[in-house]
Structure 1
Amino acid sequence: MNEVPVQKRFNAWATGAARVALAAAVALGAAQAAHAKTSLLVYTALEDEAMKPYKDAFEKANPDIEIRWVRDSTGSVTAKLLAEKNNPRADVILGLAASSLTLLDLQGMLMPYAPKGFDQLTRKYSDANTPPHWVGMDVWGATICYNRVAAQAKNIPKPTSWEDLTKPVYKGAIVMPSPVSSGTGYLDVTAWLQTFGDDRGWKFMDALDKNVAQYVHSGSKPCTLAGTGEFPIGISFEFRGHELQAQGAPIDLVFPKEGLGWDMEGTAIMKTTRQPDAAKKLADFMASKDANEITARWWAIVAYPGVARKLAGIPDNYADLLVKNDFVWSAKNRQSILDTWQKRYGAKAQQ
């Protein structure tokens, strides 16, 4: 019997080994593909504290999907989305102001979608279209954070109204958010214009500006600065106020008697998403009772009935204090309002 040459036997062995390795690699690749997660790029203006609870709860319920956040203040997120209109990146928008979502919708950027369980939500807290183009999460409103210790040291009284803040005693004692970058700042400005009227509203802001030390980038920062005592008064919103109170900051929350500007945080799917099925699952989750229970940790009014709870420092009649608010008007007039504000007061804005 003739023996197979050593070289031929080696070549045959090598070929077989290569085939086995290739088959193993293909099988491994298929297994990895089967377990690969769908990635959702989510643009948000949520407070930092809220991002992890939503992400953890959603990804636990949907282990095949992961959220990748892009976070900034409301004005900055809105500007980024508009700038990317012709080359959009985001799949989902979460925790952005309804006034901004309305603006994006007017640009034709949002996908109509009624999430599962939508009929369980309070209808007035979402877009009026059927199906809705965005779905509300919560209401947030204007609040004055007043540091008792810092104010008393300078003999600065607690204000009870917006008009109080124009008095000379408050000169240099106030910080507020810029409406250019902050949704809270924008809801303040639009509320004053809608409540007082255009002429009186700008005259009020002229008088207020004389007492404002600085306009800052975010809606949270004025209350944070008041909490530390750097400034006695910060025009902010209730989330940051009651969080700081819970941490022991010597601040009172003031809800001015003329009424409170307000907006809603909402969820929307980008019409151009490359992951529509996963995006719809996130929208479904955000409309669920579980997600609303997370939201209710920080907000006095949420979209799911019966979930909201009493929050320290927030009055029982909070909903009655909210001024009449036209989101479509706010969206359509956004640029002209911001241009006017920037021209009048932008010199004091934080860069």
Structure 2
Amino acid sequence: LTMPTSWADLAKPEYKGEIIMPNPASSGTGYLQVTSLLLMGGIKEGKEDGWNYLKQLDKNIVEYTNSGSAPAKLASTGEVAIGISFGYRVAKQMSDGYPVKMVFPEEGAGYELEANCLLKGAKNPEAAKMFLDWAITENAMKAYSKYKMMVTREGIVSEATLPLPKAEDVKLAKMDFDWSAANKTELMEKWNALFVAKTTPL
């Protein structure tokens, strides 16, 4: 097989039966991937390009897994040629010596933001505040830097040794997290109606 470099490549007939990806109804990684494709396809402007692409991609999909890490793990052990997953998991498989390569699609890759917060009405707000204050300390950021490629405190350089590309070398999709959250039920109803046949049973 030719190494794919884009989402468009993955819809080509040569990859029929060679791809697995996460089920967006059970995996946050899968939902992120599907919403990024729908947004790139102009769904907010009333376009169906994203859904049409997913229908084409589905022709090549063997299975929609329940977890976001499963596709990377299965590809790394040779059970499938291509696993659509998330960068950290692929990098971990590579670091562990598995013969797998990481590709970020040319059109753009979806992404998520990680954050800590204090929920309104929390039972232990003072303890939560103490944790949040600690989470932005130099010591906490140094701990994060062993596992994350980027930390938000100035002057702390990541010590992570996983083979991830530099952030500026990856084209990111234009995400809309509010829209994705507000429309999840409707999107998953449509997704299930179209693609549920290939999902791993829960």
TM-score of the aligned structures, taking structure 2 as reference length: 0.89
Cα distance change on mapping 1:297 and 1:239 into 2, 3 Å? farther
Q: What's the secondary structure of 1:213's corresponding residue?
A: strand
Matched residue type, 2:131: L
Structure 2: distance between partners of 1:283 and 1:266 = 10
Tell whether the 8 Å contact from 2:72 to 2:89 is kept in structure 1 after alignment: yes
Instruction: Choose the corresponding residue for 2:4, options 159, 170, 173.
Output: 159
Name 2:18's counterpart in structure 1.
173
Tell whether the 8 Å contact from 1:220 to 1:236 is kept in structure 2 after alignment: yes
1:286 aligns with 2:135: yes
Name 2:194's counterpart in structure 1.
344
Structure 2: distance between partners of 1:260 and 1:308 = 24
Q: CA deviation at 1:272?
A: 2.6
> Would you tell me which structure has more strand in proportion to its own residues?
1
Tell whether the 8 Å contact from 2:95 to 2:163 is kept in structure 1 after alignment: no
Cα distance change on mapping 1:256 and 1:187 into 2, 3 Å? same
Tell whether the 8 Å contact from 2:109 to 2:170 is kept in structure 1 after alignment: no
Gaps of 5+ in 1: 1-155
Structure 1: distance between partners of 2:50 and 2:30 = 14
Which moves more between the two structures, 246-255 or 334-343? 334-343
Structure 2: distance between partners of 1:288 and 1:343 = 47
TM-score of the aligned structures, taking structure 1 as reference length: 0.53
Tell whether the 8 Å contact from 2:104 to 2:170 is kept in structure 1 after alignment: no
Structure 2: distance between partners of 1:182 and 1:303 = 26
Instruction: Choose the corresponding residue for 1:225, options 70, 74, 86.
Output: 74
Cα distance change on mapping 1:298 and 1:171 into 2, 3 Å? farther
Structure 2: distance between partners of 1:306 and 1:226 = 37
Matched residue type, 1:298: Y
Tell whether the 8 Å contact from 1:222 to 1:236 is kept in structure 2 after alignment: yes
Q: CA deviation at 1:224?
A: 0.7
Structure 1: distance between partners of 2:145 and 2:68 = 19
Name 1:251's counterpart in structure 2.
100
Structure 1: distance between partners of 2:145 and 2:67 = 22
1:182 aligns with 2:17: no
Name 1:13's counterpart in structure 2.
none
CA RMSD in angstroms comes to 1.8
Gaps of 5+ in 2: none
1:150-189 Cα shifts (integer Å, max 9, x gaps): xxxxxx2210001111111111111111111111111111
Structure 1: distance between partners of 2:171 and 2:145 = 19
Structure 2: distance between partners of 1:301 and 1:338 = 31
Q: CA deviation at 1:322?
A: 1.3
Tell whether the 8 Å contact from 1:242 to 1:311 is kept in structure 2 after alignment: no
Q: What's the secondary structure of 2:85's corresponding residue?
A: strand
Q: CA deviation at 1:248?
A: 0.4
1:52-201 paired onto structure 2 within 5 Å: 156-198=1-43, 199-201=48-50
Instruction: Choose the corresponding residue for 1:263, options 112, 126, 148.
Output: 112
The alignment-based identity, stated in percent, is 40
Cα distance change on mapping 1:319 and 1:160 into 2, 3 Å? closer
